[in-house]
Chains A and B, each alone.
Chain A
Amino acid sequence: MANATTRSFLQVAATEEATPPLRVVQIEGLAINNTTKFLKELFCTYLIQVILKIIKHCKEFSPALVTGQLLGLDVGSVLEVTNCFPFPIREEDEEIEAEGANYQLEMMRCLREVNVDNNTVGWYQSTLFGSFQTVELIETFMNYQENIRRCVCIIYDPSRSNQGVLALKALKLSDSFMELYRHNNFTGEKLREKNLSWVDIFEEIPIKVSNSALISAFMTELEADTPVKQCDYERLQLSTSPFLERNVEFLIECMDDLSMEQQKFQFYYRNLSRQQAQQQAWLQKRRAENMARKNAGEEPLPEEDPTNPVFKPIPEPSRLDSFLITNQIANYCNQVNGVAGQSFSRLYLMKALHEK
């Protein structure tokens, strides 16, 4: 981390003037190309090997959630992810945390020795059923963003991959969201001002994959002759109900959370209107009093009294949580849609086969 920090200062200094838009994120072996609908395009390339590593790490520890670091190069408008290494599973212990930092440094030193690019460009993490939109993720992202200007987060979902889908996503936080987050300003007013809705928190970056010619040659040779591949078997599995069930379960949980958030807001609004009523009442009383004093030829009292608890502003609850939950729900809905769509085709296929 330490050298990442020093590097970042240099980099920030260098990039402060004109940051060319990030166009490509390239993973070695597997390149992921991410395009944002934002002003600039983000483009990542990943090498296949990185993706395999991520998959292996995430799968081996599934259902535990794991993270790791992405290494690579930031070349002009292209962010190439050329390597990665896993983090040990984190434990809630300060000593171990320090050890984790050591591990990171050690690993990067070792990788540098065998000529691996050792610039941090982001991190990857596994998720279950796409439940990754958490405050922790945002915090981690902000942390990385402090040190390296351009970073990317790869999310891999082992649970979905069992269905023959390569559930890999590259994400970044949108700039406008980061701005708000930095000032921790999630009141309704600010959000309206920025015109930021829950859709705009995360930007998904399309993934572009690249391979070295050597690996490509090996793979062409090693490809098995069988016409049916493992992923075909998995894709044509008829049973999707466990997956859908879990998804709907999570969806219901999220709904509960969301209604909790809504209650918070209702509570806030109720308090707010009660306070306003109190303020009005107080003002009227004061005016009446002033009128009386005026008639009596005395000095009027000021119409504002900051010491009065009635004028203390009630803090507005942050919208961040409800935004994230909304995102989460939208995600589950998308997954349900996707899986249901696939199983439709499977069912019709089965029907057709049976009729034959």
Chain B
Amino acid sequence: MASNEQTVLQFVPSATSVSARVHPLVIFNICDCYVRRPDQADRIIGTLLGSVLPDGTVDVRNAYAVPHNESSDQVALDIDYHHNMLSSHQKVNPKEVIVGWFSTGFGVTGGSALIHEFYSREVTTPVHLTVDTGFKNGETNIKAFVTNNLSLGDQQLAAQFQEIPLDLRMLEAERIGYDLLKPTNVDKLPNDLEGMEASMERLLALIDDAYKYVDDVVEGRIAPDSKVGRFILDTVASLPKLSPQAFDKLVNDNLQDQLLLLYLSSITRTQLGLAEKLNTAAQII
């Protein structure tokens, strides 16, 4: 980006190797805002809220869109809106502070530098998150950037956007289950037992896979991989060694506890039913 390469070009690398982590809500929020963008707008931008973890990871937990206008060489941001929204969010959760900003579209574009400069005033090292809602390459393209300043002597020349690693493993989303997140329509939420069933099925499939792998290795169909072998060994070893009697006792005790609770709750329910009948019927005096 810097045009002058003969004099001393100072390249200040970012102090730490930062990385970013994104809460799925942020992606959802951005997508929703994009769907609801004004007619004439090509992209939407907005503020990212979150916190910086002790190890330098930027944890992005919330986002809101900020209305803006963009022409070829200038960007107008609704700063009032930004501040209003910020103070509202802080009332709810004071721990979430500005950590950067997001924009839809593929990678960094021209106007981005200006917006980034604005956010640099709000927070020392803002993170710029780009979400490609157009799926240009036919795949998801979510990237995070920080800037490095290029300066010539005391003069600021430009800012270089540098990509930083982005952690997209979304534990929160996994908790809800992708079964619910992926399809565009789900008629019913899975209840406890259905979820349990699904988990068990997956577990069984995994055990089957492991069996098959071990059998194949033993019979020489697959080249053995010592790493996998060690994992399997660790897993098997993690089962506590108990004598069958002790184990039976443990399981049976537990079962009996649960049965007792079930019994108790059934009795309670019966009592409730009875009490209700008595309460409403006994009053004929």
Residues of A near any B CB (own CB < 8 A): 28-33, 47-49, 51-53, 55-57, 60, 83, 86-89, 103, 106-107, 110, 113-116, 161, 164-166, 168, 188-189, 191-192, 197-198, 206-224, 227-232, 234-236, 241, 244, 248, 251, 255, 262, 265, 272-273, 276, 319, 322, 326, 329-330, 332-334, 336-345, 347, 349-351, 353-354
Tell me the nearest residue of chain B to A45, going by C-beta. B185
Q: Most chain-A CB neighbours within 10 Å: which of B34, B67, B254?
A: B254
Interface membership of B231, Cβ < 8 A: no
The interface residues of chain B lying within 8 Å CB-to-CB of A214 are 31, 34-35, 133
Query: How far apart sit A344 and B197, CA to CA, in the bound complex (Å)?
Result: 12
Binds A, one of B11-19, B22-30, B147-155, B219-227: B22-30
Once the chains bind, are B176 and A166 in contact (CB under 8 Å)?
yes
Interface set, chain B 146-181, CB cutoff 8 A to A: 168-178, 180-181
The interface residues of chain B lying within 8 Å CB-to-CB of A56 are 23, 25, 61-62, 172
Cβ-neighbour of B33 out of A114, A228, A342, A349 (below 8 A)? A114
Closest 7 CB pairs of A and B: A49-B28, A230-B174, A333-B265, A221-B140, A209-B186, A115-B36, A340-B258
Once the chains bind, are B186 and A31 in contact (CB under 8 Å)?
yes
Query: How far apart sit A116 and B44, CA to CA, in the bound complex (Å)?
Result: 14
Nearest chain B CB to A15's CB is how many angstroms away? 26
Complex A-B: 5 CB contacts under 8 Å: A56-B61, A211-B185, A216-B183, A339-B192, A344-B258
Tell me the nearest residue of chain B to A52, going by C-beta. B25
Once the chains bind, are B92 and A88 in contact (CB under 8 Å)?
yes
Interface membership of B283, Cβ < 8 A: yes
Tell me the nearest residue of chain B to A272, going by C-beta. B285
Interface membership of B193, Cβ < 8 A: yes
Q: A232-B203, A235-B199, A344-B255 are in contact. Are A212 and B193 (CB under 8 A)?
A: no
Cβ-neighbour of B29 out of A49, A206, A322, A353 (below 8 A)? A49
The interface residues of chain A lying within 8 Å CB-to-CB of B180 are 30, 48, 166, 209
Query: How far apart sit A224 and B195, CA to CA, in the bound complex (Å)?
Result: 19
Once the chains bind, are B188 and A189 in contact (CB under 8 Å)?
no
Interface membership of B276, Cβ < 8 A: yes
Once the chains bind, are B181 and A211 in contact (CB under 8 Å)?
yes
Cβ-neighbour of B177 out of A166, A192, A213, A350 (below 8 A)? A166
Once the chains bind, are B181 and A232 in contact (CB under 8 Å)?
no
Tell me the nearest residue of chain A to B206, going by C-beta. A227
Query: How far apart sit A192 and B140, CA to CA, in the bound complex (Å)?
Result: 60
Query: How far apart sit A15 and B280, CA to CA, in the bound complex (Å)?
Result: 35
Q: A228-B202, A231-B176 are in contact. Are A52 and B184 (CB under 8 A)?
A: no
Tell me the nearest residue of chain B to A354, going by C-beta. B247
Once the chains bind, are B25 and A49 in contact (CB under 8 Å)?
yes
Nearest chain B CB to A313's CB is how many angstroms away? 13
Interface membership of B77, Cβ < 8 A: no
Once the chains bind, are A232 and B202 in contact (CB under 8 Å)?
yes
Q: A48-B28, A114-B67 are in contact. Are A219 and B182 (CB under 8 A)?
A: yes
Once the chains bind, are A330 and B272 in contact (CB under 8 Å)?
yes
Query: How far apart sit A28 and B29, CA to CA, in the bound complex (Å)?
Result: 11
Once the chains bind, are B192 and A338 in contact (CB under 8 Å)?
yes
The interface residues of chain B lying within 8 Å CB-to-CB of A322 are 279
Once the chains bind, are B185 and A347 in contact (CB under 8 Å)?
no
Query: How far apart sit A345 and B272, CA to CA, in the bound complex (Å)?
Result: 28
Q: A106-B88, A219-B178, A329-B268 are in contact. Are A227 and B202 (CB under 8 A)?
A: yes
Nearest chain A CB to B233's CB is how many angstroms away? 16
Interface set, chain B 255-285, CB cutoff 8 A to A: 255, 257-259, 261-262, 264-266, 268-269, 272, 275-276, 279-281, 283, 285
Q: A29-B32, A88-B91 are in contact. Are A209 and B185 (CB under 8 A)?
A: yes
Query: How far apart sit A222 and B31, CA to CA, in the bound complex (Å)?
Result: 14
Cβ-neighbour of B32 out of A49, A88, A333 (below 8 A)? A49
Nearest chain B CB to A199's CB is how many angstroms away? 9
Query: How far apart sit A322 and B34, CA to CA, in the bound complex (Å)?
Result: 49
Nearest chain B CB to A108's CB is how many angstroms away? 10
Once the chains bind, are B272 and A326 in contact (CB under 8 Å)?
yes
The interface residues of chain A lying within 8 Å CB-to-CB of B79 are none
Cβ-neighbour of A332 out of B171, B186, B265 (below 8 A)? B265
Once the chains bind, are A229 and B177 in contact (CB under 8 Å)?
yes
The interface residues of chain B lying within 8 Å CB-to-CB of A206 are 188-189
Interface membership of B111, Cβ < 8 A: no
Nearest chain A CB to B260's CB is how many angstroms away? 9
The interface residues of chain B lying within 8 Å CB-to-CB of A337 are 262, 265-266
Q: A115-B38, A214-B31, A354-B247 are in contact. Are A219 and B173 (CB under 8 A)?
A: yes
Once the chains bind, are A110 and B88 in contact (CB under 8 Å)?
yes
Once the chains bind, are B184 and A211 in contact (CB under 8 Å)?
yes
Query: How far apart sit A29 and B175, CA to CA, in the bound complex (Å)?
Result: 16
The interface residues of chain B lying within 8 Å CB-to-CB of A116 are 36
Q: A115-B38, A166-B177, A168-B189 are in contact. Are A188 and B23 (CB under 8 A)?
A: no
List 18 other contacts, CB 8 Å, given A103-B91, A115-B36, A197-B280: A49-B29, A53-B25, A56-B62, A113-B67, A166-B190, A216-B182, A216-B183, A217-B135, A231-B174, A231-B176, A244-B261, A255-B268, A333-B269, A334-B265, A336-B262, A336-B265, A340-B262, A347-B251
Tell me the nearest residue of chain B to A338, going by C-beta. B192
Query: How far apart sit A236 and B262, CA to CA, in the bound complex (Å)?
Result: 20
Interface membership of B234, Cβ < 8 A: no
The interface residues of chain B lying within 8 Å CB-to-CB of A232 are 199, 202-203
Query: How far apart sit A29 and B181, CA to CA, in the bound complex (Å)?
Result: 8
Once the chains bind, are B140 and A218 in contact (CB under 8 Å)?
yes
Query: How far apart sit A116 and B36, CA to CA, in the bound complex (Å)?
Result: 7
